[in-house]
Chains A and B, each alone.
Chain A
Amino acid sequence: MSKAWIIAAKEWKEILRDFYVLGILVLLPPVMVGTLLLLIYFYLTFFLHNLDMAKTLLSSMPVAYLQGLAGYTDIQKVAVLPIKIIGIPFFLLIPLLISGIVTADSFAGERERNTLETLLAAPLREHELLLGKVLTPFLPALAITWISFAFLTAGVSRILNPHFLSPVFPDRVWILSMLVLVPLFLAGTVLGEILISSRASSVKSASALNMLLSFPVLAAMLLQSTGFVLFSDRTLPWIALALATVDAWLFRAGLLAIRRGDLLVR
């Protein structure tokens, strides 16, 4: 494990010295959080001035959306809908995009720069190398996601709190999602991206293939917005279990992918 930290520490140092990568990592979260906050703000402002439309909207909503909102006024129900419907899947885009920026370079970049052979010639066990490569994007992406969540909480509270007697955000589902779902989702994403990077012939092709990993998030958005699967107290444990299973399988696949000769010859 200590050698995994050595690898990750070296790669963080390199990232901090790459102006463009660092710039994107710094800019991306405020852009994503800002977009979500603007959406919530304009949505709420619109329905505050169009109460009849709010009633019409609520009557056309799937019943599942309105569960747990008993006791709320119509405008309060409308106010929390965006954050309830697309909030969590949209927020998962942050760790997905951040890890993608760092991980595409993982093995494909080392191969392109001819550094992979020297790294593989060092006395590293396969799991140490894989963990090092996982930690490099995992910890910054998790930290940035949680910091973004703190900003989202502050922003949403500022927008919504005047309309409620007590704070409504973050609720339990959001907190559990941040503490459990995001790390599991991020681990799977990073492992998937590392697998892609280990097989891709260049950073460019790894980046292109990483786009495939956004499909599950888009699917989650679709399922959530159509009411088929909602992130809720009931579904979260199952989603977490599914993600943990996928993560374990991907870790094993990652170890197999790091067979030395296979990595060098692409």
Chain B
Amino acid sequence: MNGMIRMRDVHKRFGSHKALDGLCLEVPEGKVFGLIGPNGAGKTTTIRILSGLVRADRGEVSLNGFGLDPPHRIRRLVGALVEQPGLYTKLTLLEYLSFFARLYDLTGSQAEARIRELLELLDLTELGKERLQGFSLGMKQKAALARILLHDPPILLLDEPTSGLDPLITRRVRDFLFAPRERAKKTVLVSTHNLDEARRVCDEVAVICWGRIVASGPVGQLGEIPGQACRVTVRLREVHPRLRAVLEGTPGLGEVEEDAAARTLSYRTPEPERVNPKVVERLVGAGAAIIGVSLEKASLEEAYLRLATAELSSDEPQKG
């Protein structure tokens, strides 16, 4: 493995709570990688470990090939946006950004030029001399974005970057963060609840549950991960209980659903290539008049819900 972000068999406990349980993750350079999962799955802990804010109990973690010790060095590689970006509200936007620029060792002229550039990019130039306490949530989020980009880090760690923002601001933030110009240069790990956002911006996604990755892959193919079923809909001239019984008697099919109004029968199968010809053959044999057969790959949302539900309903990891 030679990912820009790499975690292997990482474990972390907080008291009796197991936050990460052998988490493995690899994000290649220049990719936007989505980490999706329910509350308490370990997303924030993962980002905190990668930011050097929390130490893993055991396991291997590296950023751009470097281990996390000493953490203050590795933090220069990372721009971390936490879910609730607290700002020093008594400072002006310029003072706030200058403070962090100095902590990141930017010289006065470097800081000035970079701050000006970022304020222009984020449409905040007019607000430079305003105190942060008067900022709206969206403006605060943009100020936090400017902060994490000050030192032009190669890695961005974003924990729910659009959480709590209205759709318009969400779109602006997303457009900025994942614009081709920025995206070409950065490796991004973004944790989100927002599956639509993950689908739009991520190259790859991983589903995290109980502190471990339960599935991962390119965002368009998560529904094709082995074990993930497609939904098949058969449109008939007439739906008859006999035809439904034929489907229910066919091995390899999930639950059969009937929509009398649409005159369809539908089912799920992880192996449509093998199962569908058999289904068609049996239905025709039973006298069905088939108008059409459509195959729908599992959407990211469906795949996520199925994976997360399956994991959450499985045994809770041992505590204590």
Task: Give chain B residues whose Cβ lies under 8 Å from the Cβ of A121.
Answer: 51-53, 75, 78, 80, 82
B128 contacts the other chain (Cβ, under 8 Å)?
no
Q: Is A49 in the interface zone, CB < 8 Å from B?
A: no
Interface string of B81-102 (1 = CB under 8 A from A): 0101111111100010001101
User: Considering only CB atoms, which chain A residue lies closest to B54 in the complex?
Assistant: A261
Q: Once bound together, how far apart are the Cα atoms of A6 and B76, in whole Å?
A: 17
Known A-B contacts A121-B78, A125-B72; the reply to A260 vs B54 at CB < 8 A is: yes
Contact between chains at A13 and B95 (CB < 8 Å): yes
Chain B contacts to A: CB under 8 angstroms: 14, 48, 51-55, 70-73, 75-76, 78, 80, 82, 84-91, 95, 99-100, 102-105, 144, 147
Query: Given the complex of chains A and B, what is the CA–CA distance between A6 and B104 in angstroms?
Result: 11
Q: Knowing that A123-B72, A261-B54 are A-B contacts, what are 6 other residue pairs whose CB atoms are under 8 Å apart, sorted by A's residue number?
A: A13-B95, A14-B88, A18-B90, A113-B86, A118-B144, A121-B75
CB-based contact A264/B48 at 8 Å = yes
Closest B residue to A113 using CB positions: B86
The complex places the Cα of A124 from the Cα of B52 at a distance, in Å, of 11
Which residues from 190 to 218 on chain A have a C-beta closer than 8 Å to any C-beta of chain B? none
Partner of A115, one of B75, B78, B80, B88: B88
Chain B residues with CB under 8 Å of A118's CB are 80, 82, 85-86, 100, 144, 147
Query: Known: A117-B86, A121-B80. Contact between A264 and B72, CB under 8 A?
Result: no
Bound-state Cα–Cα, A116 to B90, Å: 15
* 19 A-B pairs in the complex with CB atoms less than 8 angstroms apart: A3-B102, A10-B91, A10-B95, A13-B91, A14-B90, A114-B84, A114-B85, A115-B86, A118-B80, A120-B53, A121-B52, A122-B103, A122-B104, A123-B104, A124-B72, A260-B55, A261-B53, A264-B53, A265-B14
The 7 closest A-B pairs by CB, nearest first: A114-B86, A115-B86, A261-B54, A122-B103, A123-B75, A14-B90, A17-B90
CA distance A56 to B314 in the complex (A): 85
CB-based contact B88/A122 at 8 Å: no
Expressed in whole angstroms, the Cα–Cα distance for A122 and B95 within the complex equals: 16
Contacts of A14 in B (CB 8 A): 88, 90-91
Total chain A interface residues with beta-carbon distance under 8 A: 26
Question: Which A1-31 residues sit within 8 Å CB-CB of chain B?
Answer: 3, 6-7, 10, 13-14, 17-18
Chain A residues in 8 Å Cβ range of B105: 123
Encoded as 1 (CB less than 8 Å from any B CB) or 0, chain A from 240 to 266 comes to 000000000000000000011100110
> Across the A-B interface, how many residue pairs have beta carbons closer than 8 Å?
78
Instruction: Decide if A123 touches B88 in the complex (CB within 8 Å).
Output: no
B146 to chain A, nearest CB (A): 12
- A6 engages B84 (CB within 8 Å): no
By beta carbon, the residue of chain A nearest B95 is A13
Knowing A115-B88, A123-B76, the reply to whether A6 touches B102 (Cβ < 8 A) is yes
CA distance A58 to B66 in the complex (A): 74
- With the chains together, A261 CA to B147 CA distance in Å? 22
Are the C-beta atoms of B55 and A6 separated by less than 8 Å? no
Docked Cα-Cα span, A123 to B105, in Å, equals 9
Contact in complex: B75, A122 (CB < 8 Å): yes
B149 CB to closest chain A CB (Å) equals: 13
CB proximity of A13 to chain B, nearest CB, Å: 7
CA of A14 to CA of B99 in the docked complex: distance in angstroms? 12
**Given known A14-B90, A18-B90, contact A117–B53 (CB-CB < 8 A):** yes
> What A residues does B103 contact at CB under 8 A?
3, 6-7, 122-124
User: A148 to B236, alpha carbons, bound, how many Å?
Assistant: 94
Q: Scan A152-184; emit 1 where CB is below 8 A from any B CB, else 0.
A: 000000000000000000000000000000000
Q: Are B85 and A261 in contact, CB atoms less than 8 angstroms apart?
A: no
In the docked arrangement, what's the CA distance between A255 and B144, Å?
Answer: 28
Residues of B within 8 A of A17 (CB): 90
Q: Which of the listed residues A122, A124, A260 has the most CB atoms from chain B within 10 Å of its own CB? A: A122
Most buried by A among B52, B72, B95: B72
> A18 contacts which chain B residues (CB < 8 A)?
90
